[in-house]
Amino acid sequence: MNLFNVYPLFDVTPVRAKDVYVYDNGGTEYLDLYGGHAVISIGHSHPAYVKNMSDQLSKLGFYSNSVQNPLQIALAKELALQSNCVDYQLFLCNSGAEANENALKLASFYTNKKKVIAFTNSFHGRTSATVAATDNTKIVAPVNAQHEVDFFNLGDLASVETALQKGDVCAVIIECIQGVGGLDENTTDFYKGLELLCAKYDAVFIVDEVQSGFGRTGEFFAFQKHKITPHIISMAKGMGNGFPVGGILIHPKIKASYGVLGTTFGGNHLACVACSTVLKVLKEEKLMQNATAMAAYFIAKAAEIPKIVKVKGRGLMLGLVFDFPVSTLRKNLLYTHHIFTGSAKNPNILRILPPLTVKKQHIDQFFKALKKEVG
């Protein structure tokens, strides 16, 4: 049977990994500054993660959401404490797209409206409504295009208000720091303005923290820098350190009722242990503080490279903007220097999304290689 060929693949076959390093089938060591697409938060095969997951698997890997699961309750309690989103309610699912799909669905149920407002260069996933709210027509099929979505530029509050005035918008969805779109972040006034407009016109304010959440930016959620209160916060990626877990945090004003959301696999026992272990290690190893400190170190080193015209993003969610397209550079970093990095919609951006355990020595290793490539 052939695989359905949807991914252009690098010619590397990882077979094991440890912390910030990945090893291929020939034993070559790679520095992972990509984190499997911002997924690895506490480091590959962290000992506590391996132990807790193995212990849980030997007891009970899965049961459905039709029975009591104290692991979900313990997870919600710890998540409330660490995220400081104490009044929110937790719904667990399996991926980032699913988190956003549930967020949009809930917004539509809650407001009984169906239009969505999203932003230029957004990415929210590949499922039905999320791909429609993603600013990339190439990945939107006709079945997705039925969703009513208006796109506006970041910062354009006036156009958002004009759209909201029509009274048919259920949700405004935004990544506070864009991921693949190119690491753009707008002003606090803009995010606060969106919050106020959503309140004024009865729309649900959804913040997509799928990539930026769980400590990646040095704060638990990226939106917290702007002191806003979203109605729904979507999460995934770093949440499970590689185990597929997603979820939404739901403001107390949105009440639950049986059947509005549901999932077979979401919140299963292994997923809960993965996420609870991530939270424990984030706290014990002070990884959010590390993200902030390593970002400062990274940005200072980047300033020494004339070909880097700008560094975008925050914490360990960074984009290095070069004055040329980076696809060859990225390949050279991988095949010559054995360093994984990421790309963005803007071909001149190299994305840096390492595990939050990354240290100065790893950043030095990257810049040594980069200097050899670009001077």
Ligand X SMILES: Cc1ncc(COP(=O)(O)O)c(C=O)c1O
Structure tokens at 118: 């999203």
Stretch that binds ligand X, among 142-150, 153-161, 207-215, 282-290 (CB under 6 A): 207-215
Instruction: Judge contact between 174 and 206, C-beta under 8 A.
Output: yes
Indicate whether 125 belongs to the interface with ligand X (CB under 6 A): yes
Residues whose CB falls within 8 Å of the CB of residue 99, separated by 6 or more in sequence, listed in order: 93, 210, 234, 235, 236, 246, 247, 248
Compute the least distance from the CB of residue 29 to ligand X, in Å.
26
Compute the least distance from the CB of residue 372 to ligand X, in Å.
30
Please identify, using beta-carbon distances, which residue of 186 and 301 lies nearer to ligand X.
186
Compute the least distance from the CB of residue 82 to ligand X, in Å.
20
- What is d(CA 93, CA 247) in angstroms, rounded to the nearest whole number? 5
Indicate whether 210 belongs to the interface with ligand X (CB under 6 A): yes
**Cα-based torsion angle of the residue sequence 30, 33, 38, 44 in order, rounded to the nearest 10 degrees:** 40
Indicate whether 211 belongs to the interface with ligand X (CB under 6 A): yes
Structure tokens at 203: 């729309």
- What is d(CA 70, CA 72) in angstroms, rounded to the nearest whole number? 5
Indicate whether 217 belongs to the interface with ligand X (CB under 6 A): no
Please identify, using beta-carbon distances, which residue of 41 and 370 lies nearer to ligand X.
41
Compute the least distance from the CB of residue 149 to ligand X, in Å.
15
Please identify, using beta-carbon distances, which residue of 32 and 175 lies nearer to ligand X.
175
Stretch that binds ligand X, among 91-99, 156-164, 288-296, 350-358 (CB under 6 A): 91-99
Selected from 19, 32, 175, 219, the binder of ligand X by CB under 6 A is 175
- What is d(CA 223, CA 244) in angstroms, rounded to the nearest whole number? 23
* Residue 130 identity (one-letter amino acid): T
Please identify, using beta-carbon distances, which residue of 222 and 370 lies nearer to ligand X.
222
Selected from 35, 36, 96, 354, the binder of ligand X by CB under 6 A is 96
C-alpha distance from residue 306 to each of 3, 81, 171, 329 (Å): 42, 43, 42, 15
Bridge partners, residue 234, by sequence = 208, 248
Minimal CB distance to ligand X: which residue?
Answer: 96
Residues whose CB falls within 8 Å of the CB of residue 142, separated by 6 or more in sequence, listed in order: none
Indicate whether 179 belongs to the interface with ligand X (CB under 6 A): yes
Sign of CA dihedral 137, 149, 353, 43: negative
Other CB atoms within 10 Å distance of the CB of residue 268? 26
Compute the least distance from the CB of residue 130 to ligand X, in Å.
7
Indicate whether 100 belongs to the interface with ligand X (CB under 6 A): yes
Please identify, using beta-carbon distances, which residue of 210 and 281 lies nearer to ligand X.
210
Selected from 236, 271, 317, 329, the binder of ligand X by CB under 6 A is 236
Residues that bind ligand X (CB under 6 A): 95-97, 100, 123-125, 175, 179, 208, 210-211, 236
